[in-house]
Structure 1
């Protein structure tokens, strides 16, 4: 029997935990599932807010802004994991419980649909509160300008770029969750989350729930007449970003992490 880290759970133990949690998540009552997903949307939005604040500082070099911005964005997933919330991208790992025959296809799709909706409500709701707080006016309006710049770039992404960026993003997110489950303490989970999440943000990969906050935020700023932008940000641009990013997130999390780990650790004689 191998020893993993400092008393961390082994991969075979992690998959058992993921499957058990997956069954519980899939069978949550509608109201609980929706409310927890609204919280997750707001949590990820908070991480994105923190990231934009760092990126709005023109005195920082490119690498410093990207890496530091990625590190602070990790706050969002840390709150989801530790405080407990339902995040669409993380719940792509429910495919492991589905592959093991513990939940049905209907239960899987029900969870993804409700959680996706709740994440959107939470992220957009946070954006409304942030605009009302006048937070984007910080640094002489540089924060607002950064939101508009980020959103304009995201809505201009070609479909194929957005798709594969979404694949890479959620592969890292789901690996972060997988490793966080291996940890026994909050500190373990924080360390496990920090590096994969900061990596995907620094690399500029696309996270659907973060984009639910960032793009509507830019539209709100546009509607209220704050800051300029390289190009108008509109709902059609939001949809053009979300469709390939959501598809990419599902492939990256469900297939590249969930299905791969299921095949590795659920086959006879698998490594324990």
Structure 2
């Protein structure tokens, strides 16, 4: 049997329900720590993607985006193999609810707590990346990439951000779904990278990634010294749209879209593989 063989979709559906039940049953302390770690891991992926994009102006658009997507996939790889609780992937918990394995409150509690501690982990890494002067790498190219990324995100309209969030989490949840069926760590890596690279390359919106990317851009805009602006040839005023209000305005529709996208994937697989059993 090939090492890249994955489980049958029926078995994956059962695994998704079992994992959803387990997630809803985690106590507060465990859930908080694992969610904090997931925010950290996704932020590592975001920082790695910014490094890949730094100085990529000479590359064809698609090439730079693809490199950033492959780089960002380290975040979900760490979550799925290292073990952590990520809000976007955890929206598949809808399958456990649909099966009657958890109550509505249990699912909402688990998702809300994970979301809050994902945010905390992301903000910690944004602050540490700034303190580590990560924005100065590549003669400031990483900082400019962060500013450009944050600026483009906060300027999205509500409807655009919502639709982008739906598409992004459909791909994230497909990566999680495939990883449930992978039999080895190497298999998990192989099945995670393509969907994650696809959503990043397409410029889609992921709420937890944005919890790092926009605050990091905001910190650069607010606190980078004169040497950074002189070195890069850009100005803080060029990025005046990057505000805390803009961060919240992005996060609301993207989060709603991520929930819809995750529930759509989980609901579709429940209908295909589990609902017929009930009948």
Flag whether TM exceeds 0.5 (same fold).
yes
Query: Deviation per CA, 1:37-66, whole angstroms, max 9, x where unpaired?
Result: 010001000001011111112332211100
After the TM superposition, which residues 1-272 of structure 1 pair with which residues of structure 2 at under 5 Å, given as runs? Answer: 6-57=4-55, 58-226=57-225, 227=229, 228-229=235-236, 230-232=238-240, 233-254=242-263, 256-268=264-276
The answer to whether the 8 A contact 2:4-2:187 is kept is: no
Deviates more, 1:136-145 or 1:261-270: 261-270
Q: C-alpha distance in 2, partners of 1:174/1:84?
A: 16
- Secondary structure (helix, strand or coil) at the match of 1:257 reads helix
Larger helix fraction of residues: 2
The answer to whether the 8 A contact 1:4-1:10 is kept is: no
Q: C-alpha distance in 2, partners of 1:5/1:190?
A: 12
Q: C-alpha distance in 1, partners of 2:9/2:129?
A: 40
The answer to whether the 8 A contact 2:49-2:69 is kept is: yes
Query: Deviation per CA, 1:166-187, whole angstroms, max 9, x where unpaired?
Result: 0000000000000011110011
Structure 1 gaps, min length 5: none
Q: C-alpha distance in 2, partners of 1:9/1:189?
A: 12
Query: Deviation per CA, 1:148-172, whole angstroms, max 9, x where unpaired?
Result: 1111110000000000000000000
Q: C-alpha distance in 1, partners of 2:90/2:277?
A: 27
> Which residue of the partner structure matches residue 232 of structure 2?
none
Structure 2 gaps, min length 5: 230-234
TM-score, normalised with respect to structure 2: 0.92
- Calculate the aligned-residue CA RMSD, in Å: 1.6
Q: C-alpha distance in 2, partners of 1:192/1:95?
A: 22
**Matched residues, number:** 267
Q: C-alpha distance in 2, partners of 1:221/1:198?
A: 26
CA shift for structure 1 position 231:
2.7
CA shift for structure 1 position 145:
1.3
Q: C-alpha distance in 2, partners of 1:93/1:5?
A: 26
